[in-house]
Amino acid sequence: MHLDHDPSAAPADTIGFDDFLKADIRVGTIVEAEPYPEARKPSLKLRIDLGPGVGVKKSCAQIAALYSPETLVGRQVAAVVNFPPRQIGKALSEVLTLGFADEEGRVVLFQPDRPVPNGSRLF
């Protein structure tokens, strides 16, 4: 799957609301973060508390260009929780942590502007 990070790109094909609902996007709090130097792109390994319905899940995120592990613990982020797990090098990524590319292509994390309960679903 190719994702276009160009802000001037045209929108993707139109989908129905039911298609949107198939992506289960939840908010969670990062409870652990550590470097992942074995990854091809600057990455961190995260453990995210996604609330009682989902639990604590692992994510490998290409965010090391802008974030250090010590600045992430306690921060809320959004993640897709219903993709199948992916092997990223030697680590298993159970959820996809969401972000946007900045002008230089570095990932900026997506987070709510106010605290919300872990496990809250995006709608």
Q: Is this structure's pTM higher than 0.75?
A: yes
pLDDT in tens, 83-110: 999 999 899 999 999 999 999 999 999 9
Whole-angstrom Cα distance, residue 16 to residue 31? 35
List the domains of the chain with CATH numbers.
Answer: 21-109 (2.40.50.140)
pLDDT in tens, 43-70: 999 999 999 999 999 999 999 999 999 9
pLDDT reading at 2 higher than 80: no
Q: What is the DSSP string of 20-45?
A: HHHS-EEEEEEEEEEE-TTSSSS-EE
Whole-angstrom Cα distance, residue 69 to residue 1? 28
Whole-angstrom Cα distance, residue 41 to residue 64? 8
pLDDT at 4: 61
Contact 101, 65 (CB under 8 A): no
